Structure 1
Amino acid sequence: MVANGKKVDLMIRNASVLTPEMNVKVNQCVVIDHSNILEIGDDELISLSYEARETLNAEGKLVMPGMIDAHMHTCQQLIRGRITDEYPMIWTRIMVPYESNLREEDVKTSAELSFLEMIKSGTTGFIDAGGTYMHKVAQSAIQSGIRGAITCSTMDSGEGIPESMKKSTEENIRINKELYQNFHGAGDGRLDVWFSLRSIISCSPSLIQSTFEVANELGTGVQTHMNEYPNEVRYCLEKYQKRPFEFLASLNILDVNFLAAHGILLSENEMDIIKDHDIKIAHCPTSNSGKGFTKTPSLLHKGVGVALGTDGAGHTGLNLFDQMKVLKSLMRAFWGVSIFDPKILPSAKILEMATLGGAKALMRDDILGTLEVGKKADMILVNIDQPHIEPTHNLIHTLIDSCNHQDVKDVIVDGKIVMKNREVLTMDEERIKYESKKQMKEIAVRASL
């Protein structure tokens, strides 16, 4: 370090760095100032030009972009382990009673536990599918230091859904708009507020159109669960004589700000609609595996932006390292074996889906998703100096095959260290775990789970 060098907030020295081209450069220095990446280059040369307020020694570590969970439910932490091995329909039998009995304190604790788990798994950004008491989610996200997008759960119809969970078009828009006005851009710009539709089955055409119109006026995103279940496709065919994406296209509302979660049961025409409107898809490999096999290779071949999600703790953990492994195995087994193509979905592409793909889904790929000068300093440091990772002929392959969330040692979001050597600095982990256990028992009684 040079005493008279340019003063910066943070330097990461002696690092291996994942490049945007999915190569690994060694002996690198990453310079961070005012939440952005200022410079990346040879450690011996770069480090001489700066005087950092804080320095991280990344020897034996890989610095890579933070991963982005493009579809999850912050409200589902208190139902973990309950729906596995259950017969359909878990939505009306279990999820509806659970969500309709959530209280403000439950949502707050569930959100805190979500952010704690994501940070400790190397996830620096998220897109929440929506719920109730979302102001508590917003406050918890701001406190945790994580980046993401939140929305309200929006429904006005649907069988098996209690009236307390349904609201008129006007009321749904008012509540989501109020959330937008209060929290969009909060946390130094880390928090976005989107609009959502829970599903086509539970939203009227009037609500669907109004949601898109208001979101477009405000310049923000829209998301919904799409083509996840056969009954959803059947409903649209019977009611509208069109498949789900065909129905939305007929309303002339689709645009680049639309994120469709799951996207399992897609026709060729629907995939063309997705491509033509630059719609982003969020696959959730573990959750999706019980419903069908996604057409991920075909979507990518068409140039569709595909991201990865966990679908929340109700279905799995909030761990994208696991999702990458599951996706790799599913695609190889279902699509690759039949045509003898073992690299039907290469590891580098899967890693890109979890990083840059998530940034595109979040509509923030101009500032997130890759480690480049000028982009936001959202990154994780992975300990690769371990017998299950090194030595390796190809570190990208090994990240997918062998790496796990425990290998993430440090997490940086917006240029600030939020986890250092596995300790989350922005949250009280012991309190959150204690309150989670207590509240899980209480809601199980209230919801008769």
Structure 2
Amino acid sequence: MCSMKCADILIKNCSLLTPEFEVISDQSVVIKEKKILEIGDESTISKIYTADEAINGKGKLLIPGFIDAHTHICQQLLRGRITDEYPMIWTRIMVPFESSLSEEDVFISSQLSCLEMIKSGTTAFIDAGGRYMHQVARSVLESGLRGVITCSTMDRGGNIPESMKSSAADNIRRNESLFNDFHGAGEGRLDVWFSLRSIITCSPELIQDVFEKARELGTGVHSHMNEYPNEVSYCLENFQKRPFEFLESLGALGSNFLGAHGILLSENEMDIIKNYDVKIAHCPISNSGKGFTKTPSLINREVGISLGTDGAGHSSLSLIDQMKVFKSLMKVYWGMPVFDPMVMPSRTILEMATLGGAKSMLREDQLGTLEVGKKADMVLINIDKPHIQPTHNLINTLVESVNSGDISDVIVDGKMIMKSREVLTLDEEKIRYESKSAFEGLKTKANI
């Protein structure tokens, strides 16, 4: 019997990011049964609680785990291939690559993705959809991460191999099977959504079927939206409407929809996004080669915005890197012309990478901030380093100077999955070895 109250994990004497996105020091956090049980001053908590595992938080900052709201788990072995390439990389490189993936390739890719996410402080992600997603589910469950997965959904497109396309009925059947097998798995860590790969590769019938089935099952829908000019042109030429206007005309839109990228948005489309409570995930590094997002206008409309990496084909899987680039892009494009250095404050960007991601996952009541009763998904950052301390404003420095190597510990669902930079749930050496072997084979198979 404990003479004190017992907990699973006790993080002692750390600095902590509050739900108001301010930093307070000398705090301790009590974790029990996957949730945050109590937050308080170290002097008080230490007298009340003992724990199975105690973590010394001195010199560390505790924040909610980063949430990658748009990634491609199956493209981890595409790293470095599409940069500095002429269009269209989708048909010349990415489609041949993805159509060549075997089940084992997808499993290895997803293992490597999970490993990289953990080591960069990402505790949850939303995948855009791929092939053999049961193998991705297997990796997520093993890694201890929290994730949203879905099947790649397409039924048209002249440049798309037939092996990657299916009838509307087959697309729905395959995704529903994934839902039945894995939705809620890992004691609720894994969700299954429905997806549209893009409006160009999905017929109106398939689009309506996807949204209808998602509503029936009470789950989300994810799609690439307003990313390329040809996507907008396609909708205007075929439907006389822009992409979001077209989805609205089909009666598809709702608060369960997440549109990735959202670069080429009209004023009316931004109003539509607001009216239907659609969520938007920007991918700053990937988007920078296509245009500048109208984020300030979306924020003024109180649209839910999150950040994504768009997968290893475009960048690392570090949301810390995305935050840095995003701040610079917003400052240069929107701030400089009107001399507004506050056009995109660091606090706002940090909120997108945490609470914004939770909103995109449809889990803001459980994730995204450190509050009593919420899930214990959090990371500790070693801030006792020369590139971080001393600082006049730790939030600014977190966005400007912190890097993935500063992430020391990761907790998901109340379980420690990385401690002092050592991943506890995955065999890092084995994954790196197998990834290199699979990488060489894929280059030959995909002829890229």
Question: What CA distance in whole angstroms lies between the structure 1 residues aligned with 2:117 and 2:413?
Answer: 16
Residue 282 of structure 1 pairs with residue 281 of structure 2: yes
Match of 1:422 in 2: 421
Moved over 2 A (4+): none
Residue 25 of structure 1 pairs with residue 34 of structure 2: no
1:10-159 equivalences in 2 (<5 Å): 10-159=9-158
1:201-350 equivalences in 2 (<5 Å): 201-350=200-349
1:355-370 equivalences in 2 (<5 Å): 355-370=354-369
Q: Which residue type is aligned with residue 146 of structure 2?
A: R
Question: What CA distance in whole angstroms lies between the structure 1 residues aligned with 2:227 and 2:148?
Answer: 21
1:378-417 equivalences in 2 (<5 Å): 378-417=377-416
Question: What CA distance in whole angstroms lies between the structure 1 residues aligned with 2:181 and 2:426?
Answer: 23
- Secondary structure, in 3 states, of the residue corresponding to 1:199? coil
Shift of 1:3: 5.1
Q: Which residue type is aligned with residue 64 of structure 2?
A: P
* Identical residues among aligned pairs (%): 67
Shift of 1:51: 1.7
Match of 1:374 in 2: 373
Q: Which residue type is aligned with residue 184 of structure 2?
A: G
Match of 1:160 in 2: 159
Q: Which residue type is aligned with residue 148 of structure 1?
A: G
- Secondary structure, in 3 states, of the residue corresponding to 1:281? strand
Question: What CA distance in whole angstroms lies between the structure 2 residues aligned with 1:162 and 1:317?
Answer: 28
Match of 2:182 in 1: 183
Q: Which residue type is aligned with residue 34 of structure 2?
A: S
Shift of 1:50: 1.2
Q: Which residue type is aligned with residue 68 of structure 2?
A: D
Q: Which residue type is aligned with residue 282 of structure 2?
A: H
Match of 1:448 in 2: 447
Structure 2 unaligned spans of 5+:
none
Question: What CA distance in whole angstroms lies between the structure 2 residues aligned with 1:425 and 1:394?
Answer: 33
Question: What CA distance in whole angstroms lies between the structure 2 residues aligned with 1:94 and 1:190?
Answer: 33
Q: Which residue type is aligned with residue 190 of structure 1?
A: R
Question: What CA distance in whole angstroms lies between the structure 1 residues aligned with 2:21 and 2:412?
Answer: 21
Q: Which residue type is aligned with residue 120 of structure 1?
A: K
Shift of 1:294: 0.2
Q: Which residue type is aligned with residue 388 of structure 1?
A: H
- Secondary structure, in 3 states, of the residue corresponding to 2:197? strand
Q: Which residue type is aligned with residue 84 of structure 1?
A: T
- Secondary structure, in 3 states, of the residue corresponding to 2:317? coil
Shift of 1:48: 1.1
Structure 1 unaligned spans of 5+:
none
Q: Which residue type is aligned with residue 159 of structure 2?
A: G
Question: What CA distance in whole angstroms lies between the structure 2 residues aligned with 1:260 and 1:15?
Answer: 36
- Secondary structure, in 3 states, of the residue corresponding to 1:372? coil
Q: Which residue type is aligned with residue 95 of structure 1?
A: M
CA offsets 1:28-78 (integer angstroms, 9 cap, x no match): 010000000000000110121112111000100000000000000000011
Shift of 1:326: 0.3
CA offsets 1:158-181 (integer angstroms, 9 cap, x no match): 120011111000000000000000
Shift of 1:392: 0.5
Shift of 1:292: 0.2
Q: 1:28 to 1:440 in 2, by over 3 A?
A: same
- Secondary structure, in 3 states, of the residue corresponding to 1:224? strand
Shift of 1:253: 1.3
Match of 1:169 in 2: 168
- Secondary structure, in 3 states, of the residue corresponding to 2:356? helix
Shift of 1:325: 0.3
- Secondary structure, in 3 states, of the residue corresponding to 1:418? strand
Equivalences, count: 448
What TM-score results when the alignment is normalised by the length of structure 1? 0.99
CA offsets 1:221-250 (integer angstroms, 9 cap, x no match): 001000000000000000000000000000
Question: What CA distance in whole angstroms lies between the structure 1 residues aligned with 2:342 and 2:116?
Answer: 31
Question: What CA distance in whole angstroms lies between the structure 2 residues aligned with 1:212 and 1:230?
Answer: 24
What TM-score results when the alignment is normalised by the length of structure 2? 0.99
Shift of 1:6: 1.1
Question: What CA distance in whole angstroms lies between the structure 1 residues aligned with 2:296 and 2:344?
Answer: 6
Question: What CA distance in whole angstroms lies between the structure 2 residues aligned with 1:6 and 1:40?
Answer: 14
CA offsets 1:332-370 (integer angstroms, 9 cap, x no match): 000000010011010000000000000000000000000
Q: Which residue type is aligned with residue 80 of structure 2?
A: G
